[in-house]
Structure 1
Amino acid sequence: MPQAIRAGYSVFWQEFGTGSDPALLLHCALAHSGAWSGLAERLEGRLRMQAPDLPGHGQSADWDGRCDYHDQATDIAADFLAPGTHLIGHSLGATVALRLALNHESALRSLTLIEPVLFAGVRARNPDLYAAHQASNAPFAAAMETEDWDHAARIFTAQWGAGRPWDSLKPQQRANLTARIRIVGETSRALNEDSIGLLTPGRLESLKMPVLLIRGARSEPVIKGIHDALAARIPVVRQACISGAGHMVPLTHPDAVAAEILTFLP
């Protein structure tokens, strides 16, 4: 598998599929490019996919705090763009994908956002929902504030993971999650305050490409709020809800997600 300096960072990536159309896949926080393997297998006839490990994830270089994390992740992802790219992102990766779409629309053919965790999207539109999310997130925030990384990783995995109990994970998996949990804190301003300006008036409304929003029916309520906030402003948008799925829907329900994407792709 290839590894090279991309946007000044040592980045590992995987390649999937032999389809005619290029695609870029951006994973969620605390995951890696291999998380896309199940979905990619179902898209391989249509798409020729690249999936980088974001900074501090997988086999890419450890995160060194050299700059704003979301800026660095976006610069790396932009280095993979080719004309006519279908861009697919999940969770944190979906917020990077949306930023790329706004900054590099001419290079993209379509945008698929799977549960983008842009919490700022509901902050003004639905303050009660945002307050409820903040309340449910309080134990995690407290653990991060006191630098109790193990406890923070446990809480985060329970809330946003694939449903596996913490104690069922292998020791190395738990160690990896704990080591990387600080990266979640690095993204807080971007995701909760929109410090990256994705929600600036007129920006979402300017998108011309088709956009697909996919979420799990069992996901945190704030996710539906985010999707509704984005859909209200994006001109050409379609929403899909996967029955029985939670936040890790591209991993747990790859058949259903692939079907939605293949139906959507222009």
Structure 2
Amino acid sequence: MHVAEPDRVEHDGVTMLRYRFGPAEGTPFVLVHGIGCGLAAWLRLVPLLARHGPVHVVELPGFGRAPTPRRVLSVEEHAALVVRLLASIGRPVVLVGHSMGTQIVLEAALRVPRDVERLVAIGAVTDPAERTAAWQGLRLAQDVLGETPGANRAVFSQYLRCGPRRYLATLPSMLRYDAEGAAARARVPILLLRGARDPICRRPWARRLAARLPVGLLVEVPGAVHNVQHTHPRAVASAILTAVPRPRP
């Protein structure tokens, strides 16, 4: 797949990159990666979505090829960059986040609900019972054991690019963010998507999170773990395109 040079999205002295794929017409998809990752996290999913509309993939400051800012950004500051991008697109989007990216898209949707047609949270974090670096390290190790070799290569090559200092400095904001509270306040339909064997977004917490959504749906992909968009891209694309979140009773 050809990857053109990205656009730069500037806000408050920091730079995010935006890669474009697919046609100009149709409902846009905006994809936001998790901690330590970048464009490579989405490369198997992008062609499937690009058949249906324009796809915008971001690389947050300090991740992927995006310039590293002098300061470490919080979830909320990352969300402000996504909000800037949504304003430039000019029509409602399907906003998709993976892992820490689910927090960023939730926060962005709280700020500009009119710019979001629906939201997709893949492998949501962080379970309030496990908001420590030790717990997350354990869950990451469990996930590595369940991922395919190709998925592990893709993830760890991105971790090496961002470096342990940026990863660890960003982690506290991810651990602090109240995803359940944000989900309860959301005014857009939300699809929660997880691998059925995901040890990071575990089923009990995913169900609690789903129960907080005013309009939502939880979908599980059999046999998958945390990087489900890489290992099961067709199932993920099908859910994004066809699953319909429902109002909570």
Deviates more, 1:184-193 or 1:107-116: 184-193
Root-mean-square deviation (CA), in Å? 3.1
Of stretches 29-38 and 85-94 in structure 1, the one that deviates more from structure 2 is 29-38
Amino acid at match of 1:48: P
- Aligned pair partner of 2:111 in 103, 107, 115: 103
SS at match of 2:149: coil
The Cα shift of 1:44 comes to: 1.2
* Aligned-residue offset at 1:230: 1.6
Distance 2:153 2:192 in 1: 30
| Pair 47,265 (structure 1): closer, same or farther in 2 beyond 3 Å | farther
2:160 is aligned to: 177
Asked if 1:87 corresponds to 2:95, the answer is yes
- 1:4 is matched with 8
Structure 2 counterpart of 1:190, from 173, 179, 193: 173
Measured in 2, the distance between the counterparts of 1:165 and 1:209 equals 34
Structure 2 residue identity aligned to 1:185: L
Q: What's the CA shift for 1:222?
A: 4.7
Q: TM-score, normalised by structure 2?
A: 0.80
Instruction: Report the CA distance shift for 1:226/1:43 in structure 2 as closer, same or farther (over 3 A).
Output: same
> Identity across aligned pairs (percent)?
26
Q: How does 1:221-260 map to 2 (within 5 A)?
A: 222-260=201-239
* Structure-1-length-normalised TM-score: 0.75
Partner Cα distance (1:179, 1:191) in 2: 16
> Using the alignment, how far apart are the partners of 1:45 and 1:114 within structure 2?
20
Unmatched runs of 5 consecutive residues or more in structure 2: none
Asked if 1:116 is matched to 2:99, the reply is: no
Task: Specify whether residues 63 and 69 from structure 1 end up closer, same or farther in structure 2 by C-alpha distance, changes over 3 A only.
Answer: farther
Matched AA of 2:102:
A
In structure 2, relative to structure 1, the CA distance for the partners of 1:45 and 1:173 (3 Å cut) is closer
**Structure 1 CA distance for aligned equivalents of residues 194 and 108 of structure 2:** 20
Q: Does structure 2 retain, via aligned residues, the 8 Å contact 1:117–1:226? A: no
Q: What is the number of residues matched between the two proteins?
A: 233
C-alpha separation between the residues in 2 aligned to 1:117 and 1:221?
Answer: 7
Point out where structure 1 has 5 or more consecutive residues left out of the alignment. Answer: 124-129, 142-154
Counterpart contact for 2:33–2:99, Cα < 8 Å: yes
The structure that has the greater radius of gyration is 1
Cα–Cα, structure 1 residues 250 and 68, in superposed 2: closer, same or farther, change >3 Å?
Answer: same
